[in-house]
Structures are given as structure tokens and as C-alpha cells.
Amino acid sequence: MNREIVVSVSVRAVGYDEESSTLEVEFCDSSIYKYSGVPADVYSGFMDSMGLNQEKTDLKYFAQNIKGRYSQKTVRRPRLNLFKSVLDT
């Protein structure tokens, strides 16, 4: 899946396949996770939350609307442990 580079302090790139409703997220720690069954509006909301801000709105949106709500597959494990608390909760 092709991923689009995003402006974020915690997310490096995001890809979305509308046909299969699959979201792929690459974090700045080099980990990549794939989420199945993600509606287009959730993907759009996630993309809208991106930005360089101290509130980390992208991670908050991810934690509230994606993590734990959709089937997750690890594509690549993290090389650093920067976001362990968000991804492991």
C-alpha cells in the first residue's frame, strides 16, 4: 500500500485503501500497523488531526477512534520505543 508522508510529531506516513477499508499507519519509530474495516470518514478525521502541535491531536484521535476499535496487524515492529504507551494500551 502506498503511504502519504504527513506533517506530525508522531506519525510519519498514512495509507488508505478505500476498496478494502484498510488503513496503514507508519509511526516515527518506524513501526507500521494495518487496520481493517476502517470507514473513510474515520480515515479523513485522522488525516485532519495531523499537524505539528503540542496537543498531539493525531495521537489522541488515533487512540480514541482507531486503536482497539479495528482489527490490527503489525506490518513492522518499532525500531525505537517512543510511543509504547499509546500503542500498547
pTM (two decimals): 0.83
- Mean pLDDT over each residue of the chain, to the nearest integer: 88
Q: How many domains would you assign to the chain?
A: 1
- What is the Cα–Cα distance from 81 to 38, expressed in whole angstroms? 26
Domain that holds residue 25: 4-80
> Is 20 among the domain residues?
yes
* Grid cell digits, residue 20: 478494502
Q: What are phi and psi of 26, to 5 degrees?
A: -110, 120
Q: Is 87 within a domain?
A: no
* Residue 89 domain-assigned (yes or no): no
Q: What is the pLDDT of residues 33-51, one digit of tens each?
A: 999 999 999 999 999 999 8
Confirm whether 18 is domain-assigned.
yes
Rounded Cα gap, residues 26 and 66, in angstroms = 14
Say if 85 falls within a structural domain.
Answer: no
**Is residue 14, in this structure, part of any structural domain at all?**
yes
